[in-house]
Structure 1
Amino acid sequence: MNLKTTIKNIPIMAIMVILLVILFVLSFLIGRYPLSPSEVVIALFTGFFHIQTDLAPAVYAVVWDIRMPRIAAAMMVGAALSISGASFQGIFRNPLVSPDILGVSAGAGFGAALAIIMDSSSLTIQIMAFLTGLVAVSLTYFLSRSFKGNATLMMVLGGMAIGALFSAFTSCIKYVADPYSKLPEIVFWLMGSLSKVNTKSVFMIIVPILIGFSVLLMIRWRINVLSMGDEEARSLGVDTEKLRIVVILCCTLLTAAAVSISGIIGWIGLVIPHIARIFVGPDHKKLLPFSIILGAFFLLCVDDVCRTVTAVEIPLGIVTAMIGAPFFIYLLKRGYEGWT
């Protein structure tokens, strides 16, 4: 029995869930305000069930108002980007596809930059980012429909064009932004951060993320069929065009929701699905659920590092790139056979 077979025989899904729960609890202990494990457990339990205790109000404030929203956001964003990347790689049959391939991240970046320069609130910035991300993908779709040729190829090329256009718009905003106040805020947002996440932010993205997760998990076996090729899928009775549109809509909803509160975080949607394939293989019935868990674990771990290593918080995009790029180079060098 080789190593690959041994790994796949381990109940890796259960192990990963346990590790995620452990990291979830440990993340409450990390931060400038020190908390003991007993304080965290008591605050979580009594706060959830609304039980009165003698615990200091400051402990409840740190656990429920500061760290809980950020931890929940990190898990949801990581999970959303990971399952979107795995789904896109399946329907486009391309291991190099990531969630921002259709321009959603560039569109969201433009919306956020526009809201920042207009001196908007954090919630308005998130709403603008979400809406412009959806607008960017809508433009990509209608642009691809206006050209003849392979629909999938036209959509990818259209996404590259729309993404470049919105990136240019964002650069224009950065050029005219106040270099002492607005420009640093725009740049920091574009590099990815969860520092401004609050309870309202989390509740704002719960619905679109739950919708995206639910639909993708329900149709994940169809993505298996679609990844075999359009002709094979049609012979099995699958409407490939409608299925592809549904997957794209779900992934766009997930990515726009994630980017709206976290900024642009690269590499998660590209690398995490490949790591997941090492453990569970290319079967999307296992790959999509495992990508959710692994993505949540990865970004929560990265966020813990970003907010504790130095006195000044490190943008998430820097750390994910430093981890993701070398690993992706390793996969390229290895010539990983599970990509397709």
Structure 2
Amino acid sequence: MLMPSLCKISPCSDVRDRFPLLHLNSPHVRAFKEWMMKQALWLLLGMFAFSASANERPEDPIAWACYVCTEQERQQLALGKGEGEHLVYSAGTVIYGYEVTRQGGDLVVRAFTPAAWISYQYREFMEDYNSSRGEFVYNWGLFSIPPSSGSGPGETDMWGHHVSALNPTHVEARERVKRILNNNSNFSFLRVDPYGRVLRFQFQLDGSSPYIVRLNVGGALGAMEFYFDMETRSFEYLQSEDYHNPIQESAADFLAADGGPRTFGYLSYTQGQPYFIQRAQWAGVKVHGELNGSRRMRFDCSKMEGETHCFIVHL
């Protein structure tokens, strides 16, 4: 039995004879090779783009408000939205689904039961609705984790001072809190849909009123707030406060919104006073006066000759 010739896969093959251009190195041939490589690269990128487009997350469903409405009123609201599927809620524990179709020249509406994940998310959101703020706020009873590296001596809990944008280690501090929130089972309802969709409410369509987690640290340390970002599908930092005042995030926060004078009172829980001074120093704000133990006082801040100054006033 004859063995196949090794020449078919060796340098003695006639490939060189059939495709001589692949073995030449003239400028024209090199340019031809580069052109072919570019075409292959664009083809590959196009395949990736098509794959990404095919796997895009479907649009989030929207819940439309119809407070204390009858079934007929909810159907009328759905009809006003036009053809398609619409979700309607009345501030109770149930969310309603309506499908609007066109039959002949008329729009007709049919009630349906929303997907289980939509009803589940709706109930979870409504349990955390804070009517005084007009937002969804989850109150974490007592949040206690050690502070990040670089914290001062004696600091045992992470709080707003650590996550303030003025703190040099705030990125590390925020990331630690975000990891806890993103992996906490209390917020697993935000990930229940296999496509990653999250129910949006009518009043959230302008990007305001996100789902907020308020982390109460306790005592003088106040609270930190993080919100669920609908774009990144991750919790992000929002704001913080100590027992008396909001935590400053920039030099501008030591002044009023219009740039005018602003007062920060520390009438009790005076432990926050030295941290205020530290944030002011990080912001380049000049502080005048001396602290007097645990004496009640306030910081009077204003802009003079282009610089922000805060004066300690004992009470």
Same fold (TM over 0.5): no
TM-score category, normalised to shorter length: under 0.3
Greater share of strand: 2
Greater share of helix: 1
TM-score computed with the length of structure 2 as normaliser: 0.24
TM-score computed with the length of structure 1 as normaliser: 0.22
